[in-house]
Amino acid sequence: MPDVGKKVPSLKGHVADGSELKLGDFKGQWVVVYFYPKDSTPGCTTEAGDFRDLHASFRKRNAQVIGVSRDSQKSHANFSTKQELPFPLIADTDETWCKTFDVIHEKVLYGKHHLGVVRSTFLIDPDGKLQQEWRGVKVAGHAQAVLDAIPSK
């Protein structure tokens, strides 16, 4: 896991349409990488919608939003289309991104323990350095808080 102020590894992954996305492709821009547990679940749908609704404001601040979960490209394609998401979703089926950012932890659901993605967001500056991280995110107001952390031009 990169520390705040340190370079983030140049990760790559596949998006819904099968094309490859590389973090290094966004050099010179702010990058918001948000991790969420599962497509089409209530909290994840709300969070994606909040980032969607603020997308134009992120772009005005020279920021790219990238969503990441362990769901498949097909699941992401359906979710992205249904929610009209203007940003890419990484299908991290091999958990490379999740492990790099250390977002898979033990969770308890209905009394049962399992490993799952802890809702987390990371802000990477135009030089590729981690500037801020949010872990154990509560969805309400989160996308706005991330936007507020990015300097306006």
The residues, any chain, with a CB within 8 Å of residue 46's CB and separated by 6 or more, are: 139
44 is a catalytic site residue: yes
Catalytic residue chosen out of the listed positions 16, 32, 44, 90: 44
Catalytic annotation, residues: 44
